[in-house]
């Protein structure tokens, strides 16, 4: 720039002092002069040659995971939130075809429920069961859902000597009528079962022969079972289902393995309790159910009528019996459709078809009764009143009152005072089935605490209830 200013100044001087000739000579000299070189751009100063460069550090891969200050707390929270995550997963898996794998109940899904689960889903979740008077059980269950099919496997343990292993497979066909076929196998061992005798008041029932001085005593025993069930269910109409099922049960009952408890041989006269030892029974049943409720898990209004009849036969003895019963239920909305008042009556009867007595483990029990289920006989009736309401999408609460009687015949059912029970509970459910329950109840036999997740707590499916 300075050179340009000097050249212009010289040109101006030439014009002013020498006239046009001097100006032309100056201009010619300017054109003939070499072009200016542009000023060099600034560059960073290079380090001295003697300074050694540090070795190159690879930029790919992970040397160690970054650790943030809150990571340990987040890890602990992740462990604590594992059960709720499994609950949410189970809520969506336990629909349609898979619902019968979660709860011990004959269930035929509707067409849209058969088609709703996504094939290829595999879920593993914990299950637990705790009830007053029984050993707690812990385990895990895996459910795999395929195209119109589902399978499960479960294994559990109850300290110190109880165990369970079970596998099931269910195949559904949505058309021409929704149909479900299932096959399942079970092995279980329970060591803390209780037998009081038969009748509503076992201590005074003439059929029980107690050891002198132990009238009304409670006997502990173990039962080990192998059970196989095959069933076929058809939804004949929108709310009407028909079920045909057959089961084979090999049962071994024995004395309690615990020396500090009274066993069957201690409480009862030897040989007076039928069926102690090994028994084999085949039981086949036909059942129909009319259920107008839209959802079986979530509180829903509607009506329920169910009837069944079945025949049991021991292939290696003369034991044979006929079993029949009915269920009647009405579920009415109160204020809103998710607040349901339910009234339910369950009646069952058992008749021998031979002179051989029925094994005591096959007598009627009362799984629907939410007090202490420790009575058995040939006839049973359970009446219940529930008030259920949902306070979250998959969570509800209930207040309930039950009354239960057992007897040798119909007269005893209506002439003896029922055993009452009342209580409160919290339910976890999906659309199709119950998933978990926490409940407490009071009855003349004591307080019953119940905590379950992923296992059935109350079912009138005869194939699973004994």
CA distance 283 to 274: 18
Fold of 74-453: Porin (2.40.160)
CB distance 432 to 113 below 8 Å: yes
Three-class SS state of 344: strand
Query: What torsion, rounded to 10 degrees, do the Cα atoms 450, 453, 458, 461 define?
Result: -150
Strand partners, 325: 308, 348
CA distance 441 to 438: 10
**Angle at CA 242, nearest 5°, toward 465 and 359?**
30
CA distance 172 to 95: 13
- CA distances for 217 relative to 261, 264, 325, angstroms: 11, 10, 30
Q: Identify whether 160 is preceded by a cis peptide bond (ω within 30 of 0).
A: yes
On the CB side of 119, CA atoms within 13 Å amount to 8
Each domain of the chain, given as residue ranges in start order, spans 74-453
In tens digits, the chain (466 residues) has pLDDT values of 444 444 444 444 444 444 444 444 443 444 444 444 444 444 555 555 555 555 655 555 555 656 566 566 666 666 665 666 655 555 555 555 555 555 555 555 554 444 445 667 777 778 887 777 677 888 888 888 887 888 889 899 988 889 999 999 988 888 888 888 999 999 999 988 899 999 999 999 999 999 998 988 899 999 999 999 999 989 888 889 999 999 999 999 988 887 778 889 999 998 899 999 899 999 999 999 999 998 877 889 999 999 999 999 999 889 999 999 999 999 999 998 889 999 999 999 999 999 999 999 999 999 899 999 899 999 999 999 999 998 887 889 999 999 999 999 999 888 999 999 999 999 888 766 777 889 999 999 999 998 887 665 555 678 877 6
């Amino acid at each position: 720039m300075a050179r340009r200013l000097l050249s212009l100044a010289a040109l101006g001087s030439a014009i002013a002092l020498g006239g046009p000739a001097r100006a032309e000579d100056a201009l010619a000299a300017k054109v003939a002069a070499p072009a200016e070189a542009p000023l060099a751009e600034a560059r960073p100063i290079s380090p001295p040659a003697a300074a050694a460069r540090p070795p190159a550090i690879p930029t790919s891969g992970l040397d160690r995971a970054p650790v943030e200050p809150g990571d340990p707390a987040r890890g602990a929270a992740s462990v604590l939130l594992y059960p709720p995550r499994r609950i949410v997963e189970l809520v969506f898996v336990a629909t349609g075809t898979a619902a019968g794998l979660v709860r011990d109940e004959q269930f035929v899904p509707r067409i849209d429920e058969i088609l709703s689960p996504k094939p290829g889903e595999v879920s593993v979740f914990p299950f637990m069961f705790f009830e007053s008077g029984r050993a707690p059980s812990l385990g895990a269950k895996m459910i795999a859902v395929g195209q119109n099919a589902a399978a499960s496997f479960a294994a559990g343990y109850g300290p110190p000597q109880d165990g369970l292993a079970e596998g099931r497979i269910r195949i559904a066909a949505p058309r021409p009528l929704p149909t479900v076929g299932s096959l399942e196998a079970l092995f279980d061992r329970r060591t803390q079962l209780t037998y009081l005798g038969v009748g509503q008041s076992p201590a005074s029932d003439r059929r029980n022969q107690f050891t002198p001085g132990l009238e009304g005593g409670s006997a502990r025993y173990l039962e080990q079972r192998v059970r196989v069930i095959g069933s076929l269910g058809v939804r004949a109409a929108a709310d009407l289902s028909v079920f045909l099922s057959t089961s084979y049960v090999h049962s071994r009952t024995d004395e309690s393995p615990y020396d500090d408890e009274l066993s069957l041989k201690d409480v009862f006269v030897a040989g007076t309790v039928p069926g102690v030892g090994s028994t084999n029974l085949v039981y086949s049943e036909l059942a129909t159910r009319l259920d107008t409720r839209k959802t079986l898990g979530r509180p829903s209004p509607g009506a329920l009528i169910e009837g069944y009849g079945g025949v049991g036969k021991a292939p290696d003895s003369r034991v044979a019996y006929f079993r029949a019963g009915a269920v009647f239920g009405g579920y009415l909305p109160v204020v809103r459709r998710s607040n349901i008042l339910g009234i339910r009556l369950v009646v069952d009867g058992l008749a021998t078809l031979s002179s051989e007595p029925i094994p005591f483990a096959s007598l009627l029990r009362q799984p629907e009764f939410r007090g202490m289920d420790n009575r058995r006989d040939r006839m049973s009736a359970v009446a219940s009143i529930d008030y259920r309401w949902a306070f979250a999408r998959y969570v509800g609460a209930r207040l309930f009152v039950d009354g239960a009687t057992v007897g040798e015949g119909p007269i005893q059912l209506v002439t003896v005072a029922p055993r009452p029970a009342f209580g409160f509970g919290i339910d976890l459910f999906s659309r199709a089935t119950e998933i978990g329950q926490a409940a407490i109840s009071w009855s003349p036999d004591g307080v019953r605490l119940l905590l379950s997740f992923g296992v059935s707590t109350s079912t009138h499916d005869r194939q699973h209830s004994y």
